[in-house]
Structure 1
């Protein structure tokens, strides 16, 4: 529980400890499909959205490789409505064939629109496939293949629900203008009677160290050459994670960042270059992606990028402080939103230490220049990298 007396809003956040990494490799995309199905009505409430909207609330959900999160915000005086809705769909979905077909079509269309019919849309499928040989991060959250969603049966759906959507596999966070006694009473009233499921003990194959570079060339209906480089890095809050986050911002955040300043502004080899990390619970990926200027070759542009990466060794403490200030400001502004605070509490709890939400800024502030340079040397190695050249299709 997170009490904020300055807000007249309450947030009820239910985070389930299931993501794409928990799927069977022959039935991928189920965690994301289920996110949609949870809005298809329960045994007692045909429409989840209608009662919430009637009391001035709204809601949303998302799925990642590691978790599935549902949240609603509403006037604090109507808090019990959210408890009623969330507990009822945890107790039992309607498992309606019509709802399954509707949500299946929605997910299939999303798969086609965002991953199959959009330029570079399947790049992430290629990068995860190259980067992970045994770990189930091998496929994106949307799924490995469209056929896995197309062939999902009601039996598959029920099995997934009763395995993962149990109270002993979920974290409930209540935030806003709420009182502890009230929240405890509502928890007891609406959730205590829901039977726990069989304990889920995750046992995933851990990805071995990558010892050789991996490369792939893809051609598609795209306007420009794109370069992607994905390096293995520590998982969220593991040793070296915050140093990698600082490094990511040093390379790619803002116009003064190393990659933009040298490759976009000075050399004009790229029209845009971005860096990001997957922020996954298990060891994830540090990604650099760049759109090349028309007429510039991929090989020479990749070489120029690798030369810029060497400049990390000459980074100054002033540059480091600027980046840490950027990260701190981002976190503080992010936490202004009550929904974000509730989600951070839930995710930290899933990771095993709720206090991560209070220590993250301090952890970033404590990152020193030597740590950033050391993590750069450790992860930004070609033998630790999957490189994708995405080219426009050759005209016949």
Structure 2
């Protein structure tokens, strides 16, 4: 069991810490509780734009990467629909450089036209490369609005339209920053070779003076239950036809979340998983197929996607998937099959949490969800899932009226 230490500072910043003396490094993971779902529907892509802007210079430090690299550190960031996450690793003797850098960009960015234009260009290029110029790149832009009619998971993290980032003004960008990037909307997780006392001292010194902010209150609409099947057919210049199916599932905090995750592994995790074994190797309906869950904090999606084998139509491929889903609804999963998936998950958890940076990321995420210590309960929650539960959940989710199906056809 990890020894987890926590403190909340007067400005609302939550600190989570766990010491690991087996490394000479320290990780700082700063999680902001803001993602694409917090954007204005007419100004999407802002959370992702900020992932880039946060490296474009802060109020007192023109260049984030330079001082960190001189101190022997590395950093990166990622954004999704729920959160924005920044992390760095640094040798323990230079750790204060990490606190200095991370605190300055929380205090304020260098809000200049030059910085905005530079990062806007990078983000727009990424949008073009990933969504417009890549085969199947627009799948997220097609599936999400099919599945979500009111919840802001309707658009991908990169944004709904290129124009939203292209037309973003400096004032809009500033407003977004001061509405969400605040000590009282963040969790700082610190792991590695540093004591809790030293962590508290450095956090107080560098983050303590940053004032609380009026963070926008979340009032997100709840997606109503889907009552009829939704279908879309598109033709694009792609090498192969592809099938994409999504089903509404629970959010991250629901007990059924663990059942959905295991169901996705039963279907598609390794050569012996059902879709791979039955539909790729034995029946040769698909050349490749995958099943996974979105992992969203709010009610998410269960995805199944695949490329039919040569000579197999999308209709035949879809029918074969429904046959496999029917088995999950009708027959109890074999206890041995379930145990194998649980064992895989447990070993992945144990090996993942050997790494001090992974621990920092997980501590920050679980603290944002409500309690960092819950990270230690994940294995037992997966272990508690039963074969009977899985059949009940499969019956609830794998229904035609809960499905959105996209036929992505090769043109010509």
Residue range with higher mean Cα deviation, 19-28 or 232-241: 232-241
Trace 1:171-250 onto structure 2 (pairs within 5 A): 171-250=187-266
Check whether the contact 2:18–2:196 (CA below 8 A) recurs between aligned residues.
no
What is the aligned partner in structure 2 of residue 318 from structure 1?
336
Distance of 2:217 and 2:371 partners within structure 1: 18
Residue range with higher mean Cα deviation, 324-333 or 131-140: 324-333
Distance of 2:374 and 2:181 partners within structure 1: 25
Match of 2:148 among 108, 116, 132: 132
What is the aligned partner in structure 1 of residue 3 from structure 2?
none
Q: In the TM superposition, what whole-angstrom CA distance separates every residue of 1:178-215 from its partner, at most 9, and x where no partner exists?
A: 11111111111101110110143211001011111110
Check whether the contact 2:250–2:298 (CA below 8 A) recurs between aligned residues.
yes
What is the aligned partner in structure 2 of residue 21 from structure 1?
37
Distance of 2:354 and 2:133 partners within structure 1: 36
The alpha-carbon deviation at position 330 of structure 1 amounts to: 1.7
Unaligned runs of 5+ in 2: 1-16
Q: In the TM superposition, what whole-angstrom CA distance separates every residue of 1:47-87 from its partner, at most 9, and x where no partner exists?
A: 00011000110000000100000000011111111000011
The alpha-carbon deviation at position 350 of structure 1 amounts to: 1.1
Check whether the contact 2:56–2:115 (CA below 8 A) recurs between aligned residues.
yes
Q: In the TM superposition, what whole-angstrom CA distance separates every residue of 1:272-307 from its partner, at most 9, and x where no partner exists?
A: 000111100000000000011122111111111111
What is the aligned partner in structure 1 of residue 363 from structure 2?
345
The alpha-carbon deviation at position 378 of structure 1 amounts to: 1.0
What is the aligned partner in structure 2 of residue 103 from structure 1?
119
The alpha-carbon deviation at position 314 of structure 1 amounts to: 4.2
The alpha-carbon deviation at position 318 of structure 1 amounts to: 0.5
Q: TM-score, normalised by structure 1?
A: 0.98
**Aligned pairs, number:** 394
Distance of 1:336 and 1:278 partners within structure 2: 25
Secondary structure in 1 matching 2:160: coil
What is the aligned partner in structure 2 of residue 114 from structure 1?
130
The alpha-carbon deviation at position 160 of structure 1 amounts to: 0.6
Check whether the contact 2:332–2:388 (CA below 8 A) recurs between aligned residues.
no
Distance of 1:157 and 1:379 partners within structure 2: 39
Check whether the contact 1:28–1:149 (CA below 8 A) recurs between aligned residues.
yes
Q: TM-score, normalised by structure 2?
A: 0.94
Trace 1:28-43 onto structure 2 (pairs within 5 A): 28-43=44-59
When the two chains are superposed, the root-mean-square deviation of aligned CA atoms in Å is: 0.9
Instruction: Say whether residues 1:329 and 2:352 are aligned partners.
Output: no
Distance of 2:285 and 2:29 partners within structure 1: 45
Distance of 1:124 and 1:189 partners within structure 2: 43
What is the aligned partner in structure 2 of residue 377 from structure 1?
395
Secondary structure in 1 matching 2:52: helix
Unaligned runs of 5+ in 1: none
Distance of 2:176 and 2:348 partners within structure 1: 36
What is the aligned partner in structure 1 of residue 91 from structure 2?
75
